[in-house]
């Protein structure tokens, strides 16, 4: 059994990072690509995420593989346009 990687503490709030497997999205040529099962250090306090250098290199290689991206399953997501009239101040003085 291998030991979990020590991601250290969060640069934002100083909390110890926990290893989790996350979904990470990237924008490529106007299209969103979601990569699942990415090992990352995640802050349980503020939600900041970091990945190890070798994971970053693996992601770069994966995202450069246009054939794999072209044949990957597709999902649909809602796209909502925020109209300026909908903007309401959260705090009123």
Domain ranges of the chain: 1-72
Lowest pLDDT segment from 14-18, 27-31, 55-59: 27-31
The pLDDT value given to residue 1: 60
Model confidence band, residue 92 (pLDDT cutoffs 50, 70, 90)? low
**What pTM was estimated for this model as a whole?**
0.78
Please state, rounded to an integer, the average pLDDT across all residues of the chain: 91
Burial 23-60 (b: 16+ CB within 10 A, else e): eeeeeeeeeeeeeeebbbbbbeeeeeeebeeeeeeeee
- Count, in order, helices (H) and strands (E) of the chain: 2, 3
Domain 1-72 top-level CATH class: alpha beta
In this predicted structure, the answer to whether residue 48 has a pLDDT above a threshold of 90 is yes
Q: Each residue of 71-84: pLDDT tens digit?
A: 999 999 898 988 87
The pLDDT value given to residue 84: 77
């Amino acid at each position: 059994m291998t030991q979990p990687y020590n991601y250290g503490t969060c640069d934002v709030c100083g909390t110890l990072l926990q290893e989790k497997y996350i979904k990470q999205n990237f924008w490529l040529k106007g299209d969103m690509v979601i990569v699942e099962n990415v090992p990352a250090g995640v802050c349980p306090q503020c939600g900041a995420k970091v990945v190890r250098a070798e994971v970053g290199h693996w992601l770069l290689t994966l995202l450069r593989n246009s054939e794999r991206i072209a044949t990957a399953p597709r999902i649909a997501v809602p796209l909502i346009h925020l109209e300026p009239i909908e903007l309401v101040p959260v705090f009123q003085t």
